[in-house]
């Protein structure tokens, strides 16, 4: 029954240098991390530690200056812009701190956004989108606009949206940063549940309590991995 865990993320010796005016800023100074399928990873660290840069590279929003990044076996480190867009659309799910729903679209349409750019027939995915809305408990708000929803509800729409393309991994950037602790806990519950169903989660957070939920906590400092703790969850 138990098969060998598959490595879906393998970054090797990643360096990222930003040119700010005349000054070179070394945001990442050689980071190597491998993440196995189904893992719940929390990335922590003080500001300036390089965790945001790390997340951007993991999310294929940015390219490392040097180093390799294998996502699901494909080296995406130096792909061109269009290919990276396609990779983001097909392989990754994003959850942002400020939800980032599109104001002029309804709940169901927001969930569909990643599908639009894959050129699929939206009609075929209608049922799936409704099921995802049910999964996050918003089945009776399909035609609401983001402004008509609370913060927690908006974040749940964002979670449903991040799942619509069956991603290899969900990247969450402080998903509860804008929520009160009660609704934040609800959102974290959903993320836990997804992880239990086998989804790989990579989450950036400041909060140690939230990091407790993860299988593995990577602490970063000065552009390097400072501590990589694999925890035993009960």
**Residues contributing to the site for other proteins (CB under 8 A):** 56, 59, 61-62, 81-82, 85-86, 88-90, 94, 96, 100, 102-105, 113-114, 116-119, 121-123, 161, 165
Query: C-beta of 222: minimal distance to other proteins in Å?
Result: 21
Query: C-beta of 185: minimal distance to other proteins in Å?
Result: 25
Measured from the CB atom, the residue of 149 and 211 that comes closer to other proteins is: 149
Measured from the CB atom, the residue of 95 and 211 that comes closer to other proteins is: 95
Measured from the CB atom, the residue of 25 and 116 that comes closer to other proteins is: 116
DSSP string, 172-224: EESTTTTS-HHHHHHHHHHHHHHHHTT-EEEEE-S-HHHHTTSSEEEEEETTE
Query: C-beta of 189: minimal distance to other proteins in Å?
Result: 24
φ, ψ of residue 188 to 5 degrees: the values are -65, -35
* Residue 99 · residue 151 · CB < 8 Å: yes
Strand partners, 82: none
Where does the chain show beta strands of DSSP type E?
7-20, 23-36, 40-44, 66-71, 74-75, 92-95, 169-173, 200-204, 216-221, 224-230
Instruction: For residue 160, give the H/E element and its range.
Output: helix 151-163
Measured from the CB atom, the residue of 82 and 232 that comes closer to other proteins is: 82
Measured from the CB atom, the residue of 88 and 213 that comes closer to other proteins is: 88
Measured from the CB atom, the residue of 165 and 200 that comes closer to other proteins is: 165
Query: C-beta of 161: minimal distance to other proteins in Å?
Result: 7
* Residue 184 · residue 205 · CB < 8 Å: no
Query: C-beta of 158: minimal distance to other proteins in Å?
Result: 10
* Residue 128 · residue 94 · CB < 8 Å: no
Query: C-beta of 56: minimal distance to other proteins in Å?
Result: 6
């Amino acid at each position: 029954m138990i098969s060998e865990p598959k490595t879906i993320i393998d970054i090797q010796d990643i360096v990222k240098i930003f040119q700010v005016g005349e000054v070179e800023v070394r945001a990442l100074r050689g980071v190597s991390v491998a993440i196995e399928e189904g893992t719940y990873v929390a990335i922590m660290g003080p500001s300036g530690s390089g965790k945001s840069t790390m997340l951007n590279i993991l999310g294929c929003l940015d390219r490392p200056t040097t180093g390799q990044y294998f996502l699901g076996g494909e080296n995406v480190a130096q792909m061109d812009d269009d290919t990276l867009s396609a990779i983001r659309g097909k392989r990754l799910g994003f959850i942002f701190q400020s939800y980032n729903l599109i104001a002029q679209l309804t709940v169901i349409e927001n969930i569909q956004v990643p599908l639009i750019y894959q050129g699929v027939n939206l009609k075929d995915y209608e049922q799936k989108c409704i099921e995802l809305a049910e999964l996050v408990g918003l089945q009776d708000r399909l035609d609401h606009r983001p402004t008509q929803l609370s913060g927690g509800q908006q974040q749940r729409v964002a979670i449903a949206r991040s799942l619509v393309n069956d991603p290899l991994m969900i990247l969450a950037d402080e998903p509860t940063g804008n929520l009160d602790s009660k609704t934040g806990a609800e959102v974290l519950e959903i993320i836990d549940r997804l992880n239990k169903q086998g989804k790989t989660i990579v989450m950036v957070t400041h909060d140690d309590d939230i990091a407790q939920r993860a299988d593995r906590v990577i602490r970063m400092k000065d552009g390097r991995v400072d501590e990589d703790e694999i925890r035993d969850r009960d």
